[in-house]
Structure 1
């Protein structure tokens, strides 16, 4: 459904900041639509006497672009600089070190950031198409008028009148998951409506280059994880890391009726968790290693999924549990503290850390039995590697102080 740009209104908010809008800016029906589909991402107060007949919106830790109706779109800007959003992405999705991505650091808006990243993916897909798509052999069974591969003799005996032969054979094809991930991602990007006008033709060109060769199959971000690469498809590792980012944040499930535009939404809490874990993996001191999203069973039907475990490389012993909290409260919440004590008890370690993007006005340092729970900061307001080194230094100072106190 094509909308005249003159008819489209885009309203903007910034994560965790309240903003009011009149009924002229957000028609009542559009506000209801926003509430019904996106109340998880946006706090919405309906017009009333207490709001002076205004809508009040507040994004709950999500950034991105929501097509509320064909005529009204909502843009949620991040509080942190766009450059740092990209820096988090580099680590979280293992893109760090690819020099062709450096131009993204100059992006000044979410649309520019998204468009440039999509453009890189499209160019890389076209480059791979020119070299030839990755192919592999897939087993097929088919009724043929000629013999190919291995003949199903049992069927010939049972149905001698059947002139077609049931054959099992291997087909060398490009229509494999590695390429289906690329096609599906480009398809969703093309429908997201967030790409700048100069980028959309490149996205279409890359998608059409795959059409006819690749079956359009729905793919998920999980399909991009844990894939096996070899000397024939090693360059797909980067392509799939880029695809994973888009597949995690473009949501086709909100589609309604004939309206085809898709939302793009980044869960900043999830991105912060991925970023801190991957940054620590690449920068932690020798003698330690990390476990990420560690699942610990506590009963037959219950388990914990712990963000980060820090372990001693020599013994394998867990020395600390770490959990990221993408929020800036006055002080650590009781529920978060209780959660960390439970994590520490379950993993039989004595140290637990809650990691925040800003310093707490009332830093946390408490002891429950023999478990010590403290707050740490991995700031997103400055150069990420610089703030990361400060975070790492404080983390190991805490380790040293704990060891000294037990001597």
Structure 2
């Protein structure tokens, strides 16, 4: 089925209906009866804004879901490349004509990036260890020694740093390689590469399914791993389809929330363009402001760009919110009005992926003036070079729309 497509009719068992009717699955699709009869096994499904493929349930309740993105796979990979928490790779990381499916494309990109990262050898690092030994190594854990063996000289409770390849970076690569190897759609050549990677990572502990993804920090030492690690995070986080403890639903696959992908892409790409045009600094998902005095309702605009004020300190000057939808709805205008009011700004910008852009703003009278709400469109079907040019043009438009000096922040969390 297609992302945000039409209703499609399927024949399902009652166990499959139960699998697809859980609250968690309903976050990615809608389900309703297609027939009127009590024994009619036809059901209609409609995907929401999540793409990918996933196997749900077991036995008679097993379901294989495939949700194709509205945009071409090479465009989707381009969006992921700009997101700050996602991968950075070339504009044409895969042969889109051959790998038109999402999983084979991501598997190929990861296999190539990981193979290149590991070609010079495995990274190693120091990890803290605690052990019991007959000889002193590192430092003595005096409290543990006294608690466990009061009055005894040996054995010793010690702590030391061990130089090992079992570090978060290698754990991420191993976990992603094993996750992709289990997927049916991965091409045989890429599957062979993934198995070689698994062998190269011998001695590394794979992440436990369902556990938090290993955390890592970009540095000079792991720079050659960066592209592969960003991809690994996509693979492992996208595969984490969470369920309540004990619920009898098995999950295997990869899902990407397109709303989050677009928000990440717009914040990074547009924020970087604004920095080039007007200076300052941007922040994605700024969590410094609240709607109310009691700070119970946090505001989370997708992009806040700050510029120096009269004192030289940075203050919010541009606010942008991404809408992965066709046009801007009335509730979106109300939301942006709240953002502008609480951030003390006279202009707000809403960016959707479709709709009509006429260049005019919704003017909202307020005491002492007016707040202008602009509506923009970024067409994700544009080729990468044209999409980059569109983002740059949007940055110039937003910069030109600024008519006021940023005022002091209101209801700030700082």
Is residue 2:286 matched to residue 1:294?
yes
What's the CA shift for 1:75? 0.9
What's the CA shift for 1:27? 3.0
Partner of residue 345, structure 1: 341
1:50-108 CA distance string (max 9 Å, x none): 9x974222111111112135664121111112221121122125644548825457632
Q: Distance in 2 between matches of 1:257 and 1:398?
A: 48
Partner of residue 44, structure 1: 31
1:138-174 CA distance string (max 9 Å, x none): 3333221122233456747973335312223222222
Partner of residue 318, structure 1: 316
Mark the CA change 1:243 to 1:323 in structure 2 (over 3 Å): closer, same or farther. Answer: same
Asked if the contact 1:221–1:245 (Cα under 8 Å) also holds between the matched residues in 2, the reply is no
Asked if the contact 2:323–2:351 (Cα under 8 Å) also holds between the matched residues in 1, the reply is yes
Asked if the contact 1:320–1:344 (Cα under 8 Å) also holds between the matched residues in 2, the reply is no
What's the CA shift for 1:265? 0.9
- Secondary structure, counterpart of 2:170 in structure 1: helix
Asked if the contact 2:319–2:349 (Cα under 8 Å) also holds between the matched residues in 1, the reply is yes
Between 1:193-202 and 1:99-108, the stretch displaced more is 99-108
Match of 1:239 among 202, 225, 228: 228
What's the CA shift for 1:258? 9.5
Q: Distance in 2 between matches of 1:360 and 1:221?
A: 40
What's the CA shift for 1:401? 4.9
What's the CA shift for 1:261? 5.5
1:191-228 CA distance string (max 9 Å, x none): 3444234432332332233243435445645825xx14
Q: Distance in 1 between matches of 2:212 and 2:126?
A: 23
Q: Which has the higher helix share?
A: 1
Task: Name the TM-score, length of structure 2 as normaliser.
Answer: 0.80
CA-based RMSD of the aligned residues comes to 3.3
Asked if the contact 2:74–2:92 (Cα under 8 Å) also holds between the matched residues in 1, the reply is no
Q: Distance in 1 between matches of 2:52 and 2:204?
A: 32
Q: What are the ranges of 5 or more consecutive residues in structure 2 without an aligned counterpart?
A: 405-414
Number of residue pairs matched?
A: 382
Asked if the contact 2:282–2:306 (Cα under 8 Å) also holds between the matched residues in 1, the reply is yes
Match of 1:141 among 119, 126, 130: 130
- Secondary structure, counterpart of 2:286 in structure 1: strand
Partner of residue 274, structure 1: 264
- The correspondence of residues 61-210 of structure 1 with structure 2, limited to 5 A, is 61-69=49-57, 72-92=63-83, 93=85, 95-96=87-88, 98=90, 101=93, 103=95, 107-124=99-116, 128=118, 131-151=120-140, 155=145, 159-161=150-152, 163-210=154-201
Match of 2:352 among 356, 374, 395: 356
Q: Distance in 1 between matches of 2:214 and 2:295?
A: 26
Q: Distance in 1 between matches of 2:357 and 2:132?
A: 72
Between 1:291-300 and 1:394-403, the stretch displaced more is 394-403
Q: Distance in 2 between matches of 1:14 and 1:183?
A: 31
- Secondary structure, counterpart of 1:169 in structure 2: strand
Task: Name the TM-score, length of structure 1 as normaliser.
Answer: 0.81
Q: What are the ranges of 5 or more consecutive residues in structure 1 without an aligned counterpart?
A: 1-12
Is residue 2:3 matched to residue 1:15?
yes
Is residue 2:219 matched to residue 1:229?
yes
- Secondary structure, counterpart of 1:317 in structure 2: strand
Mark the CA change 1:168 to 1:32 in structure 2 (over 3 Å): closer, same or farther. Answer: closer
- Secondary structure, counterpart of 1:253 in structure 2: coil
Partner of residue 308, structure 1: 303
- Secondary structure, counterpart of 2:303 in structure 1: strand
Mark the CA change 1:197 to 1:252 in structure 2 (over 3 Å): closer, same or farther. Answer: farther
Partner of residue 16, structure 2: 30
